[in-house]
Amino acid sequence: MSESIFAAIDLYGTAVRYAVIDQDTDPPHLLQVGVCDLPFDVVDALLTEKTAAAIPRIAEPLAERLAGISAYEVRVLVHPPHVWSFFLPISAELSVRDRKRQLLKQAALLTGTTETHRLSLTSSTVRTTTDSEGDAVMWVHVLAVRRAIEARLSQLVNALDIPRYTWQLSTAAAARAAATQELREVTHEQALRPYALSVGQFPGHTEYALARDRQWYFSHHATNAASPNDRAYFAVALLNRLEIPLDAIGRLFIYGLDVDPYAYAPLQTILDIEPEIMDPAWAVQIPDDLHLPSATPGPFVASIGGALQ
């Protein structure tokens, strides 16, 4: 096992996309990338409390692909519609116990359960700001699943022979991948605009990842927003909600299963910037004998971004 090697698996539809990256080089070294196509919905099999009989059918081909990779940790990438996820501002002066109490209270409100002991929370501090009185406030992102789902994931990860795992939202991985692309071919005008907006299009939902100064800032998603006008509408609604002016967006990245730049024409007009297809391969060194199993890199943004530090 090497503490510099991280794996990521991205669950969507009938596909499990995976990537393995060695962080101990500059740029990081891409060791494995690919997709396991299965004859059933892997999200339904893993993230709902139905029968666990499908777990070995997911684990077997994935373990075969990842055999011999001594990864320290695997990040399990899930998309916003499939889990409970929220951002919460918390006073930095609270004790760790009080912070956890606030997170559980918010999770109970969101999930509609009073039995918070049945929930498993994954939290991370996204940024620290100050409130109107000058006191430090931490913005914490929380991803929640039921403990029964957590146990199911443990069963899958045990089959991969990787000692650690953590949940991660696909938009967090997209923001990390976008950060590497922001450093390339940046214009002076773009450098003066601190935010980057990444939009991922998938069947049934559109996800938005906002980054500031190459750090994940906020995320949002919308269902049934496939049309160009709808994609633009929800993007602008997100910026308005966060009180971010339109001219503060310096880069517009697109990823997912639909990366047609023409579908972003209304948003391009509103933001006055051209959409760029996100290519997470820019962030890593790729061996000559390793190729993305896709004509476009968009579907692998979450898996490669998820395996990056």
**Domain match, 208 and 74 both:** no
pLDDT in tens, 171-193: 999 999 888 877 666 776 777 78
**Domain match, 75 and 120 both:** no
pLDDT in tens, 218-230: 999 999 888 999 9
Q: Please report, for the domain that includes residue 125, its CATH number.
A: 3.30.1490.300
pLDDT in tens, 193-215: 899 999 999 998 999 999 998 89
How high is the mean pLDDT of the chain? 89
What is the pLDDT averaged over residues 156-170?
A: 90
**Domain match, 168 and 26 both:** yes
**Domain match, 186 and 263 both:** yes
Q: Please report, for the domain that includes residue 275, its CATH number.
A: 3.30.420.40
**Domain match, 233 and 273 both:** yes
Extract the runs of DSSP E, i.e. beta strands, from the chain.
2-12, 15-22, 29-37, 71-78, 84-91, 119-130, 136-146, 164-169, 195-202, 205-212, 215-223, 249-256, 275-277
* Pair 123, 140: CB distance under 8 Å: yes
Strands 195-202 and 164-169: unpaired
What is the count of structural domains for the chain? Answer: 3
Q: How far apart are CA 271 and CA 110, in angstroms?
A: 32
Tokens representing 261 are 């730049």
* Pair 293, 271: CB distance under 8 Å: no
Confidence of residue 1 (pLDDT cuts 50, 70, 90): low
Q: Lowest-confidence range among 26-35, 78-87, 278-287?
A: 278-287
Query: Quick one: DSSP state of residue 285?
Result: B
Range of the domain at 91: 84-146
**Domain match, 192 and 301 both:** no
Cα 121 to Cα 163, 208, 230: the distances in Å are 19, 22, 32
Judge whether residue 293 has pLDDT over 80. no
**Domain match, 157 and 208 both:** no
Confidence of residue 295 (pLDDT cuts 50, 70, 90): low
**Domain match, 49 and 167 both:** yes
**Domain match, 297 and 276 both:** no
pLDDT in tens, 51-108: 677 888 899 999 999 888 888 899 999 999 999 999 999 998 999 899 989 999 999 8
Q: How far apart are CA 108 and CA 120, in angstroms?
A: 11
Q: How far apart are CA 297 and CA 307, in angstroms?
A: 15
Higher pLDDT, 278 or 48: 278
**Domain match, 252 and 152 both:** no
Amino acid 125: pLDDT: 93
**Domain match, 30 and 153 both:** yes
Closest CA to 143 of 176, 163, 171, 164: 171
